[in-house]
Amino acid sequence: MHGRRIIFRAMAAGLAAAMVFGCAATGPIRPFQDGESVKPETEGEIRLWHAAQRIESRLKKSGQIYGDPKLRAYLQGVVDRLYPEYQGKIKVEILKAPVLNAFALPNGAVYVNTGLIAAMENEAQMATVLAHEGIHFVNKHSALQRRNYHSTVGVSWAVALLGIPFLPDLISASSIFGYSQELENEADKLGYARLRAAGYDVRQAPKTFQHLAMEAKANKVPEPFFFSTHPKLEKRIEHFEALIAAEDRAAGRIQSETYQDHVANLRPEVLKGKITAGKYNAVITVLTHEDLLPLYGEYGSFYLAEAYRLRDQEGDLVHAVKAYEALASQQPDFAPVHKSLGMVYLKTHRHKKAADRFEHYLELEPNAKDSAFIRQYLKQARIGARLQ
Amino acid sequence: MHRYWLGLWMVLLLLCTFGCATTNSSNADLNPAGCNTSLRTQADVTVPAKISILPIKVEIREYNAGGTTEEVPEWSKEGKEIVKKCVLNHCQSNLEVEIVSLTDLSEENKAVLDQYRALYETVAANQLYIKRFPAWNHISDRVMTLGEGMAPLKKQLGTDAILFVSGYDLQSSTGRKAAFALYAVLTGGGSLPMGHSVLHTGVVELDSGDIIWSHTNISTSANLNNDEDVNAMVRSSFTDFPSAAENNRQQ
């Protein structure tokens, strides 16, 4: 009787799997061969492309697209260099978001966050990200992931019928994430080959991940957004270093100055976004790195001081005042520094100094939006100074 | 125990026999009871004799076994055509109102109207709660409005009011149906959420943005890419439409 029940269950499970599993398309999903072949082939791909168009339409309406045509054209040029046979098929867009992230949609749109662009030192590092994302599109990773999901659901139901209640969830999770990691490894490997073929200095590739790891550590998250389902960053850096070690030619295109020319305006905006989002540790980590601070130009030391002031941990205000004072002596007409110094002095009960700074701010910016608030602080500082 | 497995076998065999494609289940005799909510805020409302109809929006998605949904562009396109045809036919044959299709909208006006459609859909969805739950009875007779932002379009459109029609349809895949049956057997009667369709129809006065009339029709059996189903839904949606004829009778 017991044996018969097992047979019954196994057959029912097999049927369930065949039914649910079998409903997913089973034909091969082949990578695109060139730009001419770029179009959705299967029903699943048609749906994915349609969903991608919807996402794009929503993103465009949301006002989140970073409107710098020159920067966009520059990044598009990098993609076209990496994927010359797909010109016009892989399109770069920039999203206004300080989070380090990039993603490729099934229709060939590659979205890169301003935060990620700002975190890169040069074109070669940015090209590492774009080469990786391009492989997701060219090798149809969305379609593969979709099929994997549908298949996993079928197996999970079949396992449930066999009477192992928690196994389906485990199978779903491990298979989806495992498969995703496989795809990510493929994107890394083939992206590296693209980087090399386009003449970039492949030694810059591991640095891309080092920047991401640094930011992740500062934000106290295990991995940055972009790599949340990716292989561990350390392993990834090791993998890239092994590839570079096997190279007979490592030097190549880096383009630090050209990159800096294009992203110089974006960097302070990203810093401001991070400060607004309360990511003080990330700002301090980046701006206390001696190689990175110069990339942020005159705004670097101001935002570093701002991050210290707002984080306000032990010793932070001392660092903040030091940076503000240095900046105020270099650029006495830069109004925000006087306002911030006034705030620090007011907070630390140095009322006379606070009043002086607020007065200076209002002289420089009499019609500032926050002038009413600053006048109130000035009044408070003057009262405090009289009482001292 | 034997019966349990026999039952399960039967269910599985039946589902296998009916194939893997998502199937349309037609139900022309929709029972609107409990599935319709209408908003008619002013008793003496006058619907203009000429109304513009905003391009109809229909989104049909497949509800998969794992609970995810995917839009099927072909079905949406088909559904849009069917809903448009049924609404226009119904209005021309049964209502004393002239419907003007908007064909040459500028991109700017399209963007404005898209925003108002989203706003209308939000109000229409919330109206379900307001009309169906006693806790909201005290505000159920209030005039709902989208604001005056569409007023500048009045001259351009050449009508006093606009008709919004939006449909959403979630159709269970065969995998989902199988999962439903399996879940019921495994849990002794438990159920999984299944597909349903929603049709919002509403007339908004362009000057004031007031919703003159609005109707939300929800069905668990109708598909928006099925002629018969849509006809029935449209018929039941417009049952309480305050047509000019009705206004004349009231006067």
**pLDDT of res. B94:** 85
Distance CA A340, CA A318 (A): 13
Residue B20 contacts A where some CB pair is shorter than 8 Å: yes
Q: Which tokens sit at A96? A: 């206004």
How far does B247 lie from chain A, in Å, by closest CA? 40
Quick one: tokens of A228?
């949340």
Which residues of chain A have a CB within 8 Å of the CB of B107?
Answer: none
**B173 within 8 A of B63, measured Cβ to Cβ:** yes
Beta pairing class for A109-113 and A102-104:
antiparallel
- Enter the tokens of residue B165: 């029609």
When computed from its CA atoms, the radius of gyration of chain A, rounded to whole angstroms, is: 27
Under 8 Å CB-to-CB from A101, ≥6 apart: which residues? Answer: A95, A113, A115, A116, A224, A225, A226
Contact B20 A150 (CB under 8 A): no
Using one digit for the tens of pLDDT, what is the confidence trace for B27-46? 433 444 335 566 654 556 67
Rounded to the nearest angstrom, the minimum Cα separation between A131 and chain B is: 28
**Where are the alpha helices (H) located in A228-370, listed in sequence order?**
233-245, 256-263, 266-276, 280-287, 297-311, 316-330, 335-347, 351-364
Residue type, A265: N
Measured in residues, chain A has a length of 388
Cα A98 from Cα A269, distance rounded (Å): 9
Q: Which tokens go with A236?
A: 């990834």
Q: Return the H-helix or E-strand segment holding B28.
A: none
Q: Residue type for A269, please?
A: E
Per-residue pLDDT band at A158 (split at 50, 70, 90): low
Q: Is A335 on the interface with B (CB under 8 A)?
A: no
Q: Which tokens go with A274?
A: 């991070």
Instruction: Kindly state the helix (H) or strand (E) to which residue A252 belongs, with its residue range.
Output: none
Give the residue from A338, A350, A342, A347 showing the smallest Cα distance to A385.
A350
Q: To the nearest 10°, the Cα dihedral for A367, A369, A375, A378?
A: -110
Asked casually if ipTM beats, i.e. exceeds, 0.85, the reply is: no
* The two structure tokens encoding residue A377: 């602080």
Quick check: B148 and B210 in contact, CB under 8 A?
no
Which position has the token pair 């302070």? A268
3-state secondary structure of B98: strand
Contact A231/A193 with Cβ under 8 angstroms?
no
Q: Which residues lie below 8 Å from residue B10, measured CB to CB, with a gap of 6+? A: none
Q: What is the DSSP letter of A37?
A: G
Choose the weakest-confidence range: A118-122, A361-365, B181-185, B228-232. B181-185
- Tell me the chain B residues in contact with residue A51 when contact means C-beta distances shorter than 8 Å: 70-71
Helix or strand holding residue A66 (H, E): none
Phi and psi, residue B133, nearest 5°: -110, 130
Residues A177 and A362: their CA atoms lie apart, in Å, by: 56
- Which pLDDT value is given to residue B108? 85
| A7-21, A31-45, A133-147, B96-110: segment of lowest average pLDDT | A7-21
Highest mean pLDDT among A20-34, A209-223, B23-37, B46-60: B46-60
Q: What per-residue string of b and e applies to B84-96 under the rule 16 or more CB within 10 Å gives b? A: bebbbebbeeebe
Mean pLDDT of A121-147: 93
Please give the structure tokens belonging to residue A51: 């969903």
Q: Any idea which of A108-117, A334-343, B41-50, B184-193 has the lowest mean pLDDT?
A: B41-50
Tell me if B66 and A23 make a contact (CB, 8 A cut-off): no
Q: Which residues of chain B have pLDDT under 50?
A: 16-34, 41, 246-251
- Whether B20 and A22 lie within 8 Å, measured CB to CB: yes
Does A285 score more than 70 pLDDT?
yes
Q: Inform me whether the pLDDT recorded for A88 exceeds 80.
A: yes
Residue A205 corresponds to which amino acid?
A
Q: For residues A329-354, give the mean pLDDT.
A: 94
Nearest to A47 among B9, B70, B182 (CB): B70
Where residue A242 falls among pLDDT bands split at 50, 70, 90?
Answer: confident
Report angle CA A306, A308, A314 to the nearest 5 degrees. Answer: 155
State residue B40's pLDDT score: 56
| CA atoms within 13 Å, Cβ hemisphere of B53 | 19
Percent over 70 (pLDDT), chain A: 82
The span from the CA of B86 to the CA of B56, in Å, is: 11
The chain-wide mean pLDDT, for chain A, equals: 85
Range A320-326 contact pairs with CB under 8 angstroms and sequence separation of 24 or more: A320/A344, A326/A301
B173 CB near a chain A CB, below 8 Å? yes
For A23, which of B8, B111, B175 is closest by C-beta distance? Answer: B175
Residues B146 and B123 sit within 8 Å (Cβ to Cβ): yes
Strand partners, B215: B38, B201
Angstroms from B229 CA to nearest CA on chain A: 24
Q: Do A23 and B174 touch (CB under 8 A)?
A: yes
Q: Does A50 touch chain B (CB under 8 A)?
A: yes
pLDDT at A276: 93
How is the beta sheet containing A109-113 ordered, strand by strand?
A: A91-95, A109-113, A102-104
Rounded to whole angstroms, the Cα distance separating A318 from A309 reads 9
Distance CA A301, CA A271 (A): 11
Task: Please check whether residue B207 is in contact with residue B151, taking contact to mean a CB–CB distance below 8 angstroms.
Answer: yes
**What is the average pLDDT score of chain B?**
80
pLDDT mean over A183-201? 92
Of the pLDDT bands very low, low, confident and very high (cuts 50, 70, 90), residue A284 is very high
Q: Evaluate if residue A147 carries a pLDDT over 80.
A: yes
DSSP letters along A95-134, please? E--SS--EEE-TTSEEEEEHHHHHH--SHHHHHHHHHHHH
For A338-373, the three-class secondary structure string (H helix, E strand, C coil) is HHHHHHHHHHCCCHHHHHHHHHHHHHHCCCCCCHHH
What single letter denotes the amino acid at residue A231? P
Secondary element (H or E) of residue B57 = strand B57-63
User: CB atoms < 10 A from the CB of A108, how many?
Assistant: 22
pLDDT of A140 above 90: yes
pLDDT for res A230: 53
Among A8, A20, A47, the residue with its CB nearest the CB of B175 is A20
